[in-house]
């Protein structure tokens, strides 16, 4: 590890599924001499990509877990995290972007900006991560990088700046023209390792000159020196342009755009140059922590190994030999033998083994300095915990965790599987904050919850492969919600008289619907009508009712409860009496407040050949879907729609059979929306039938 942080880059590679992220990472590792042979993502050669180390990843040709590695390029050290493209594994992207300083946004030159590209871009905005765009697959039929640049501007709101133009497209794609040096770059050799610099072909000279002028004009907004050089008509050196583009990129006001074809080994080395030139070093980014001893006041961290240590645990892997904790050190250094504090629980932690990861392989090291990503072995902690020097009490802001939208009952086939399933679930819930599990108190079934069908399918498969736990799964269940649509008042008395002291509590008030909040309790009782020591019991009683609605027993959301009046008895009133009264009052008012059921609506994007456009739209309409728009992109058509999650189970099989296997779709959670009356009645009837059983 170098001491010069100006030479360090912590980057992620993010994109829509099948845009070529893992293929690109494989080429980067090859050109930086981290690996000595390029393997196929689909594992046709029986090996699979280095970064897809899980057997399931090699078989399916998708990335499930983010993988970390590091490499060196022209004296720069690059730490890379390859993230999944599938929206079901969005937490992997979320936690990776939380600890990265910069990112490469990979876009397909045929498909352009797709639904998951938008999701990833929103995550980058959330964590203020500067990025450069790489337009991949320029060798594919229908490739049009200029259309993708327009989409970057219109759909994602970026300020894209082309640093290259392609030399030919589709099957004629031979290389790129570098607009900084005004040279054509061709990639020769078996794996494109030899870069040949030549003069720009005559037929492309005018276009290259015009694009370079655009580049200089846009970059000059971020550099006075470049503006002066333009006004004085002095020579504009590549160094001047690089400095200006770097400044704009770090401020997230510019997105440098490069292009090529990772699969055909074209354009990857210039992309590595761009990572070193334009993406920030650790000290270029301001990282804050909260001072827990000073009312959570923000403190700016320094990327200095001599300062007091602050590190964030952002990913866990619980293996057979103990827990592997991925950390990013923001300040100070984590050394072998050090003692640090986990600020979440105040526990002292002694650092044993410190490693650097290269996908599934480990390399033992003595320390992880500020600005670096490493891993600790055999330490107990949770994802999002902060480790600090014992003399300070700082906590890093944790990552955003979306709520699960789908659940599934799992049942072990025998006693051995029961024990192994428990071990597997304990590990998976620890590693993945979007994967949750609980026991249904009524049916005693084990329920697993996640972000989509594929998410749960992968975990069930991993239970079998990694833990030999054979399980049967029930039908997927949708995470419905209940809410109210109007205000309703309550006036409820709980009175019970038995031998000895009785129970007495009276509560009055109203409930009303609220937007964008789960639950609010407001106390407006005056004159001591209910003593203040009983108010928390009232709140607890109302809160407990939110877990299971009286109508359909789904969780209740979007309710404000106001307590205005009540009465108590000097002897017979108690916390329990007021808690019971609150629950009775809630049920009474809830049924008067016209409750409705809400269901998760998914944003669905289908890519299909244009001849099957009508078929795909018909499939959406059959599923209570709403088509938002469709656009033709050469021979392909992209349809955007909103469809209830309950209607999307098994959709991939139906879509394939209706389009001769040529269409594909992605979906992600969009919002909750009221269920139509007929569907709600069917749900209520199904729930009643289930109870009778």
Q: What is the pLDDT of residue 442?
A: 64
Among 155-159, 162-166, 372-376, 649-653, which stretch is predicted with the lowest mean pLDDT? 649-653
To the nearest whole percent, how much of the chain has pLDDT over 90? Answer: 11
- Please check the confidence at residue 676 and state whether its pLDDT lies above 80: yes
- Please check the confidence at residue 256 and state whether its pLDDT lies above 90: yes
Q: What is the pLDDT of residue 133?
A: 92
Cα–Cα distance between 520 and 488 in angstroms, integer? Answer: 15
Mean of the per-residue pLDDT values of the chain = 82
Q: Residue 3 — pLDDT band, cuts 50, 70, 90?
A: low
Q: What is the pLDDT of residue 95?
A: 63
How far apart, in Å, are the Cα atoms of 579 and each of 394, 504, 546, 573, 582?
A: 38, 11, 14, 11, 5
| 9-26 mean pLDDT | 79
The verdict on domain 288-396 having CATH code 2.40.30.10 is yes
Q: What is the pLDDT of residue 1?
A: 56
Look at the alpha carbons of 411, 417, 419, 425 in this order and tell me if their dihedral is positive or negative.
Answer: negative
Q: What is the pLDDT of residue 41?
A: 54
Question: What is the token pair recorded at 41?
Answer: 């993502």
pLDDT per residue as tens digits for the range 226-238: 888 888 888 888 8
CATH fold label, 602-680: Alpha-Beta Plaits (3.30.70)
Q: Which long-range contacts (CB under 8 A, 24 or more apart) does 206-215 make?
A: 207/165, 208/165, 208/177, 208/179, 208/182, 209/182, 211/162, 211/165, 211/179, 212/179, 212/182, 214/162, 215/161, 215/162, 215/163, 215/179, 215/241
Q: What is the pLDDT of residue 377?
A: 83
Q: What is the pLDDT of residue 157?
A: 86
Q: What is the pLDDT of residue 57?
A: 45
414 vs 498 pLDDT, higher one: 414
Q: What is the pTM of this model?
A: 0.70
Give, as one character, the DSSP assignment of residue 625.
-
- Check for a shared fold between 486-593 and 602-680: no
Cα–Cα distance between 354 and 321 in angstroms, integer? Answer: 15
Q: What is the pLDDT of residue 142?
A: 84
Q: What is the pLDDT of residue 44?
A: 41
Q: Architecture of 5-202+252-284 per CATH?
A: 3-Layer(aba) Sandwich (3.40)
Class level of CATH domain 406-479: alpha beta
pLDDT per residue as tens digits for the range 644-660: 988 888 787 788 888 87
pLDDT per residue as tens digits for the range 27-78: 888 888 877 777 665 444 434 444 444 455 445 444 445 567 788 888 888 8
Length of the chain: 693
- Please check the confidence at residue 84 and state whether its pLDDT lies above 70: no
Cα–Cα distance between 569 and 565 in angstroms, integer? Answer: 14
pLDDT per residue as tens digits for the range 202-214: 888 999 899 988 8
| 385-397 mean pLDDT | 85
The CATH code that applies to domain 486-593 is 3.30.230.10
- Please check the confidence at residue 485 and state whether its pLDDT lies above 50: yes
Cα–Cα distance between 419 and 679 in angstroms, integer? Answer: 39
Q: What is the pLDDT of residue 51?
A: 45
pLDDT per residue as tens digits for the range 278-322: 999 888 888 888 888 887 788 888 888 888 888 888 877 766 667
Residues 6 or more apart from 590 whose CB is under 8 A from it?
484, 488, 511, 545, 549, 550, 551, 556
Q: What is the pLDDT of residue 75?
A: 84
Q: What is the pLDDT of residue 424?
A: 86
Domain boundaries, the chain: 5-202+252-284, 288-396, 406-479, 486-593, 602-680
409 SS3 class: strand
Cα–Cα distance between 438 and 317 in angstroms, integer? Answer: 21
Give, as one character, the DSSP assignment of residue 266.
B
- Please check the confidence at residue 689 and state whether its pLDDT lies above 60: yes
- Please check the confidence at residue 365 and state whether its pLDDT lies above 80: yes
Q: What is the pLDDT of residue 292?
A: 81
Q: Residue 581 — pLDDT band, cuts 50, 70, 90?
A: very high
Cα–Cα distance between 57 and 270 in angstroms, integer? Answer: 28
């Amino acid at each position: 590890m170098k001491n010069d942080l100006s030479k360090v880059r912590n980057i992620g590679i993010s994109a829509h599924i099948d845009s070529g992220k893992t293929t690109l990472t494989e080429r980067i590792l090859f050109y930086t001499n981290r690996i000595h042979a390029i393997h196929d993502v689909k594992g046709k050669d029986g090996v699979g990509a280095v970064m897809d180390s899980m057997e399931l990843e090699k078989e399916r040709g998708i990335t499930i877990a983010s993988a970390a590695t590091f490499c060196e390029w022209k004296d720069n050290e690059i730490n890379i995290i390859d993230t999944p493209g599938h929206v079901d594994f969005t937490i992997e992207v979320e936690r990776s972007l939380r600890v990265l300083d910069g990112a490469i946004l990979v876009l397909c030159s045929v498909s352009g900006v797709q639904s998951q590209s938008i999701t990833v871009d929103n995550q980058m905005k959330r964590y203020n991560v500067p990025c450069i765009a790489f337009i991949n697959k320029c060798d594919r039929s229908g490739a049009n990088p200029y259309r993708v640049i327009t989409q970057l501007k219109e759909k994602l709101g970026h300020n894209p700046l082309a640093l290259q133009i392609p030399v030919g497209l589709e099957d004629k794609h031979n290389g790129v023209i570098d607009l900084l040096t005004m040279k054509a770059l061709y990639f020769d050799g078996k794996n494109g390792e030899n870069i040949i610099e030549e003069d720009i072909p005559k037929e492309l000279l005018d276009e290259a000159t015009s694009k370079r002028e655009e580049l200089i004009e846009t970059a000059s907004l971020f550099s006075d020196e470049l503006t002066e050089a333009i006004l004085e008509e002095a020579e504009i050196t590549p160094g001047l342009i690089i400095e200006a583009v770097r400044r704009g990129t770090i401020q997230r006001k510019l997105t440098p755009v490069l292009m090529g074809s990772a699969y055909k080994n074209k354009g990857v080395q210039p992309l590595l140059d761009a990572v070193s030139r334009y993406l920030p070093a650790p000290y270029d980014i301001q990282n804050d922590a909260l001072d827990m001893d000073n009312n959570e006041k923000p403190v700016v961290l320094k990327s200095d190994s001599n300062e007091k240590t602050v590190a964030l645990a952002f990913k866990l892997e619980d293996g057979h030999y103990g827990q592997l904790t991925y950390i990013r050190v923001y300040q100070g250094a984590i050394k072998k033998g050090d003692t640090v504090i986990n600020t979440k629980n105040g526990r002292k932690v002694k650092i044993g083994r410190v490693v650097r990861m290269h996908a599934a392989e480990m390399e033992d090291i003595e320390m992880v300095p500020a600005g670096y990503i490493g891993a600790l072995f055999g330490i107990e902690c949770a994802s999002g915990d902060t480790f600090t020097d014992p003399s300070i009490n700082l906590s890093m802001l944790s990552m955003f965790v979306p709520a699960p939208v789908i659940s599934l009952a799992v049942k072990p086939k025998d006693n051995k599987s029961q024990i192994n399933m428990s071990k597997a679930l304990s590990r998976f819930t620890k590693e993945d904050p979007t994967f949750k599990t609980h026991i249904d108190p009524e049916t005693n079934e084990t329920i697993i919850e996640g972000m989509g069908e594929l998410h749960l399918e992968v975990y069930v498969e991993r239970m079998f492969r990694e833990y030999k736990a054979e399980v049967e799964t029930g039908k997927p269940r949708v995470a419905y919600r209940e809410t109210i649509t109007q205000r309703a008042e309550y006036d409820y008395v709980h009175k019970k008289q038995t031998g000895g002291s009785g129970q007495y509590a009276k509560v009055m008030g109203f409930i009303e619907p609220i937007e964008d909040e789960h639950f609010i309790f407001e106390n407006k009782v005056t004159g001591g009508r209910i003593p203040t020591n009983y108010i928390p019991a009232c709140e607890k009683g109302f809160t407990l009712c939110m877990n299971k609605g009286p109508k359909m027993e789904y969780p209740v959301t979007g309710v404000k409860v106001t307590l205005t009046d009540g009465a108590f008895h000097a002897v017979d009133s108690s916390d329990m009496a007021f808690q019971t009264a609150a629950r009775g009052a809630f049920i009474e008012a809830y049924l008067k407040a016209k409750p409705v059921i809400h269901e998760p609506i998914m944003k669905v994007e289908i890519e299909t050949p244009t001849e099957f456009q009508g078929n795909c739209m018909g499939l959406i309409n059959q599923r209570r879907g709403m088509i938002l728009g469709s656009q033709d992109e050469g021979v392909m058509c992209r349809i955007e729609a909103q469809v209830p999650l309950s209607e999307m189970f098994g959709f991939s099989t139906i879509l394939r059979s209706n389009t001769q296997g040529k269409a594909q779709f992605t979906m992600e959670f969009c919002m909750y929306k009221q269920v139509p009356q007929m569907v709600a009645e069917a749900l209520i009837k199904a729930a009643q039938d289930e109870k009778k059983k």
